[in-house]
Amino acid sequence: MNGVRRRCLSTLILLAASLFPACNNHNLPTGTIEKKYYAPGPWAVTVSPGMYCCDSQHNKFDFYYPTNLGANGFLHPIITWGNGTFGQASGADYFLKHLASWGFVVVATEDSFTGPGQTILDAANFMVQANNDSAKIFYHKLNTSQIGAVGHSQGAGGVGNALIKSGGTIKTAVLIEPPAHKWCTFGVQCFDATKVTASSVFFIDGSSDLLVSPPKQDPGVTTEESIEKFYNDVPAGVPKLKGTLIGPDHNDLSGQPSCQTAKAQPCVNGVYGYLGYPTAWFMDQLQGDTYAHGAFVGGTGEIFSQTTNWEYVASTIQ
């Protein structure tokens, strides 16, 4: 009898593992490129909330940056962050520290309604000015020709809008859990992917986030937007990538790093799956890292082989 019970228990465990693979591994990286950029980078990080002011809506800026700015003459690329609705940068603290550990200076407006994108762009423009201001700690420490943007939820749409409004100042954008257009209410300006005419874009969502940011277009719901639709709407000739993490819901990015310490719910696995490839993307696009580039090449890049963590992957990267 005990042997039968053990066999039944083993069968149930194997069945659960096959049905819920992401819940078992928390989206831990499996590819060699992803593993490299999943690990913390070589830079110690300083966090300075509200250190400087202000954007066009009179919000202060929060900063995540390498402690030893400009060491050995290095000029740091800039990443501007877009908060989700009612959010603050501290809600993505683990993720933003991780980016800074790879040599990026991250600036975040304290605006919690970033959908129009202007305050996200204001933050990027502030950094360009700070690089030329001897009174600022960033004086002559930044590579102002290499600026990226990343945002979550409403902030994902916001970085898309900031990318369009920047006129080429923002070179690349990572949109994490961008909201379906049906959620664009209360004066929030939706992101129109057809207007992206330059730079590059990486769309990411979680497979459990069907309510806000579904992976694929539902042909029976004409008002729905998915990252598949956003990706398809980006004009030909613009480098673009999309991928869906298997498991995460809308707020997994707020894991610190697990869902037990997440800043918001619903959360399934935590921030783990959002560390490797987004970091590699910025290393490729803003630091010219050819090793990181190998993850994203259309059809053959490493991200296409990660069947455990990623699905619905598409890329025009060459």
What is the token pair recorded at 51? 């250190």
> Domains in the chain, ordered, with CATH?
27-315 (3.40.50.1820)
What is the token pair recorded at 111? 């605006």
Q: Check whether 137 has a pLDDT greater than 60.
A: yes
Question: If pLDDT is split at 50, 70 and 90, which confidence band does 221 have?
Answer: low
The per-residue pLDDT for range 63-87, each reduced to its tens digit, is: 999 999 999 999 999 999 999 999 9
The per-residue pLDDT for range 230-243, each reduced to its tens digit, is: 999 999 999 999 99
Q: Is 100 left (phi over 0), alpha (psi -120 to 50) or beta?
A: alpha
Question: Does the predicted TM-score (pTM) go above 0.75?
Answer: yes
Cα distance between residue 13 and residue 6, in whole Å? 11
The secondary structure of 204-250 as a DSSP string is EEETT-TTTS-SS--TT-TT---HHHHHHHSPTTS-EEEEEESS--T
CB of 120 within 8 A of CB of 103? Answer: no
Burial class of residue 14 in the structure, from the number of CB atoms within 10 Å of its CB (0-12 exposed, 13-18 middle, 19+ buried): exposed
Which amino acid would we find at residue 158?
Answer: G
